[in-house]
Amino acid sequence: MTGRWADLAVRARAHVAEAGEMPYIAGDAMLVLGVLTLAKGEWGQAGPWFSAAVGPSEEEAAVPLLAAASGGRVRLALARKDLGAAARGAADAWDRLRTKGVWVWAAELAPWAVEATARAGEYATARDMVDEFAAGIEHRQAPAAAAALTWCRGLLATIGGAFPEAAERFRSARARYQDLPRPYEAALAAEAAGRCDALADSPQTAAGIPELTAAADELEALGATWDVARVRAELRAHPDAERRPQGRPRYGDRLSPREQEVAQLAGAGLSNREIAATLHLSPRTVEQHVARALRKLGAVSRHDLAQPDSDAKRGH
């Protein structure tokens, strides 16, 4: 949570291996691996890790762990543009929390559950969820849950078209996450604020550029490959972004910045359609970028593209 991701996946995998036939002991490590693989774009691994974290029976799973893993699965479905699965997962997870009535456990679930519900067209239900969450943590000393609640209110404002209000909500959530500190969520909140600034029809839209830039830099420092690529694409699409001069620079046998982004995501396991959705490109354009990256790097398969930066710097 505090951003010390170096070697974290290795240590988490070692813990899972040591647990052996006692998987419940390794639940938190499996959850860590789910979060890391999702952030890095290794979506084929993320889903199984979230499911493994819960264990064979969701009825017997520890509710805080189940809520966090459910949040990860909902976010994965959102990333894959599967709103139906995201909304169903959100509803199921929310019902379990309602049964327990311990709403501080919703900190890892609420933002993704509210977003999935609202985007699926159930805005009134999403608003009721936020109200229920707020009532459940009222007068509680629960800073992570309070940050998540602020994020949720930003989401409602976004879906409702109140972009200036939404941007302020996300900035407040970012400050709360920074105070914890939780740099990954803080960066995602900065991205959300920057996106709202771009959508707002006001002179403040240019304010989104430094927020998106900060988010991209912070996510890159963490190693969140997929998140970085998405934010860089949003930054390029920002209405006030500085436009490059006409004419395409010549990269020769080196990967262009866009080819590097595509190659990293392809190497992580994303399909051309998933990469296209992330980078706001057509699947055909992604296919062409992958083909050029394979040729320039002399790679045999998409898997070999996982770390193109070092190869590109060597002049391959």
- State the DSSP string of 12-63: HHHHHHHHTT-GGGGHHHHHHHHHHHHHTT-HHHHHHHHHHHH-S-TTTS-H
Say which amino acid occupies 51. Answer: S
Query: What's residue 72's pLDDT?
Result: 97
Q: Which two tokens stand for residue 113?
A: 């559950």
Cα separation, 167 vs 178, in Å, equals 16
Say which amino acid occupies 244. Answer: R
Task: State pTM to two decimals.
Answer: 0.86
Query: What's residue 121's pLDDT?
Result: 95
Query: What's residue 5's pLDDT?
Result: 96
Q: Which two tokens stand for residue 266?
A: 């392809």
Q: What angle do CA 191, 78, 219 make, to 5 degrees?
A: 30
Q: Which stretches within 237-271 are classed as H helix? A: 257-268
The distance of Cα 154 from the centroid of its chain, to the nearest Å, equals 16
Peptide bond connecting 181 to the previous residue in cis, omega within 30 degrees of 0: yes
Query: What's residue 38's pLDDT?
Result: 95
Query: What's residue 240's pLDDT?
Result: 60
Query: What's residue 8's pLDDT?
Result: 96
Compute the residue count for the chain. 316
Mutual orientation of helices 225-236 and 257-268 as an angle, nearest 10°? Answer: 150
Nearest by Cα to 67 from 116, 24, 100, 40: 100
Residue-level pLDDT, tens digit, the chain, 316 residues? 999 999 999 999 999 999 987 767 899 999 999 999 999 999 999 999 999 999 877 777 888 999 999 999 999 999 999 999 999 999 999 999 999 999 999 999 999 999 999 999 999 999 999 999 999 999 999 999 999 999 999 999 999 999 999 999 999 999 999 999 999 999 999 999 999 988 776 555 576 889 999 999 999 999 999 999 999 988 887 766 555 444 556 666 788 878 888 888 888 888 888 888 888 788 888 888 888 888 888 887 887 877 644 443 334 4
Cα separation, 97 vs 129, in Å, equals 11
Query: What's residue 48's pLDDT?
Result: 95
What CATH number is given for 257-313 in this structure? 1.10.10.10
First to last CA, the chain: 36
Cα separation, 147 vs 186, in Å, equals 10
Cα separation, 23 vs 221, in Å, equals 31
Say which amino acid occupies 166. Answer: A
Contacts of 224 (CB under 8 A, 6+ apart): 39, 40, 184, 187
